[in-house]
Amino acid sequence: MITWPTEAERLELSQVMQEEGFPGCVEFVDGTTIPLSQKPPKDGSHYWDRKKSGAKYYALP
């Protein structure tokens, strides 16, 4: 279930989203996975998706 954040949570989330380049955004609803042709040299194991493929997940506001 998706619930709207409290006012304090909205302020905190909005600040984080602003810093990450998403001004005015407080939540993400969906996202997509972009396949990677090679495992990144640093922390490559962090890029394994649920299908055991190298991928980067992008959240869509």
Per-residue DSSP letter, 49 = -
Q: For residue 27, what are the CA distances in angstroms to 2, 32, 37, 38, 42?
A: 10, 15, 29, 30, 28
Read off the pLDDT of residues 5-60 as tens digits, 9 standing for 90 and up: 899 998 998 898 889 888 888 777 777 777 887 777 888 777 777 777 777 766 66
Whether pTM > 0.85 for this model: the answer is no
CA distance 37 to 53: 9
How far is the C-alpha of 17 from the C-alpha of 59, rounded, in Å? 12
